[in-house]
Chain A
Amino acid sequence: MVKCSFCEREAVYINRVNGKAYCRKHFLEYFDRKVRRTIRKYKMFGRKEHIIVAVSGGKDSLSLLHYLVKLSKRVPGWKITALLIDEGIRGYRDITIKDFLRVAEELGVDYKIAGFKEYIGYSLDEIVLMGKKRGLPYLPCSYCGVFRRYLLNKVARELGGTVLATAHNLDDVIQTYVMNIINNSWDKIIRLAPVSGPIDHPKFVKRVKPFYEILEKETTLYSIINGLYPKFVECPYAPFNIRWSIRRMINELEEKYPGTKYSLLRSLLSIIDLLKNNPKLNIGEIKTCRICGEPSAHEICRACIYRIELGIIELPDELREIAEKLRIRIPEKP
């Protein structure tokens, strides 16, 4: 039996970097200290905040919601609202929504479910079929990612949120980091900061990652201890891509050389700092979408580009020139 390094109880977790073992009680204290330190270090929240927690129904986001609701009881100026985006994926979202509702009700937290159907006009299942019919070259995850991000920001703002918290953990962040190194996408690496986004746009809600320094193993254990670990349902669109190999590779390294993950995170923070003000990296100013008014990298935002290409909205004639420059696949008028 492995004993806790701080008391006589049985250990449930070993931190192989500092060599300490933790019982259930001391693990929860360690977890709490670590998340609070992350929040403080990167100045994620102020004294008065309406925190919108982006919840997918997976273990990490349920853990984040659970953690922040508990923490908010000690901070009088905080209000928490959970936000779940319902993409409309049959056999997946309808099941995971139940885990979410159970946890939200147990915690007594306000929540909002925003559906693709309601905001975009069609469910993801429908959008995927429409895209296929029109011969668009996008994967389901491209539509999903773009519309999800779009709605998270828009709905968080409409709810009166001052900050949007997502459940990305250390593992997620460093996997994306390695993927972007391979793809030579340094502009995307900058977006992996613990506090991110074009903060100087009036319609942009600041984004934070309170689990930035927390291992996926630790968020999982937190979810199991607190009865949050959901029944596993895989998204039918989940791609088998390079991320799986990178994850396995990093986990193999971590098993052989404990501390590898933290080293990668430090490497990421250094490179973000080096790239931040580098004129060679043309990040460009944040614009406002001429169609929907949301913050955007171009004059027409990615979500509106997809909507035009899918035939959900029509391209206004005065934007035709811009659309051609952005190489939007403009459907022919009937």
Chain B
Amino acid sequence: MITIRLVDGSKKWSIPRDRGRIRELLNNIGLLSEEYIIIRNSKVVTPEDEAVDGDEIILYPVVSGG
């Protein structure tokens, strides 16, 4: 299981997969990696990094006013 949530806690997803490239995991739930900075287990990673079973991913939205 991989969990993904928005930093403000407004949305959360549990993805029943063992591993996957983060860009694809986001695309599968209708999100664009272009619109988030990705934190995996408290560290900034790129969309091309992988997530594995047990990872927690937090998304910081890029879009919002100046």
Q: Which of A46-98 contact B (CB under 8 A)?
A: 56, 58-61
Taking the closest CB of chain B, its distance from the CB of A234, in whole angstroms, is 8
Q: Please indicate the chain B residues that have their CB under 8 angstroms from the CB of A60 in the complex.
A: 65-66
Given contacts A217-B37, A225-B44, contact A168 B66 (CB under 8 A): yes
Contact between chains at A59 and B64 (CB < 8 Å): yes
Contact between chains at A14 and B66 (CB < 8 Å): no
Contact between chains at B64 and A232 (CB < 8 Å): yes
Q: Please indicate the chain A residues that have their CB under 8 angstroms from the CB of B35 in the complex.
A: 251
Q: Please indicate the chain A residues that have their CB under 8 angstroms from the CB of B43 in the complex.
A: 10
B17-59 interface mask toward A, CB cutoff 8 Å, 1 = contact, 0 = none? 0000000000000001111010000011111110000000000
- B7 close to chain A: CB less than 8 A: yes
Main DSSP-derived SS at the B contact region? loop
Contact between chains at B47 and A166 (CB < 8 Å): no
Q: Please indicate the chain A residues that have their CB under 8 angstroms from the CB of B33 in the complex.
A: 255
Q: How far is the CA of A179 from the CA of B33 in the complex (A)?
A: 23
Q: Which of A2-19 contact B (CB under 8 A)?
A: 2, 10-14
Q: How far is the CA of A30 from the CA of B63 in the complex (A)?
A: 21
Contact between chains at A229 and B60 (CB < 8 Å): yes
Q: Which of A1, A21, A61, A172 has the most CB of B within 10 A?
A: A1
Residues of B whose CB lies within 8 Å of any CB of A are 7-8, 32-35, 37, 43-49, 60-66
Given contacts A2-B49, A232-B8, A251-B35, contact A217 B44 (CB under 8 A): no
Taking the closest CB of chain A, its distance from the CB of B53, in whole angstroms, is 17
Contact between chains at A220 and B47 (CB < 8 Å): no
Q: How far is the CA of A10 from the CA of B38 in the complex (A)?
A: 14
Q: Please indicate the chain B residues that have their CB under 8 angstroms from the CB of A299 in the complex.
A: none
Contact between chains at B64 and A224 (CB < 8 Å): no
Taking the closest CB of chain A, its distance from the CB of B36, in whole angstroms, is 9
- A34 close to chain B: CB less than 8 A: no
The A-B contact count (CB < 8 A) is 70
Q: How far is the CA of A216 from the CA of B36 in the complex (A)?
A: 10
Q: Please indicate the chain A residues that have their CB under 8 angstroms from the CB of B7 in the complex.
A: 232
Contact between chains at A10 and B64 (CB < 8 Å): no
20 interchain pairs (CB within 8 A)? A10-B45, A11-B49, A12-B45, A12-B46, A13-B44, A13-B46, A60-B65, A60-B66, A167-B66, A168-B66, A169-B66, A217-B34, A217-B37, A224-B44, A224-B60, A225-B44, A229-B60, A235-B65, A255-B32, A255-B33
- A24 close to chain B: CB less than 8 A: yes
- A125 close to chain B: CB less than 8 A: no
Q: Please indicate the chain B residues that have their CB under 8 angstroms from the CB of A168 in the complex.
A: 66
Q: Please indicate the chain B residues that have their CB under 8 angstroms from the CB of A229 in the complex.
A: 60
Q: How far is the CA of A22 from the CA of B65 in the complex (A)?
A: 26
Contact between chains at A172 and B66 (CB < 8 Å): yes
Q: Please indicate the chain B residues that have their CB under 8 angstroms from the CB of A166 in the complex.
A: 66
Contact between chains at A14 and B47 (CB < 8 Å): yes
4 shortest interchain CB distances as A-B pairs:
A12-B44, A60-B66, A251-B34, A167-B66
Given contacts A232-B7, A232-B8, contact A216 B46 (CB under 8 A): no
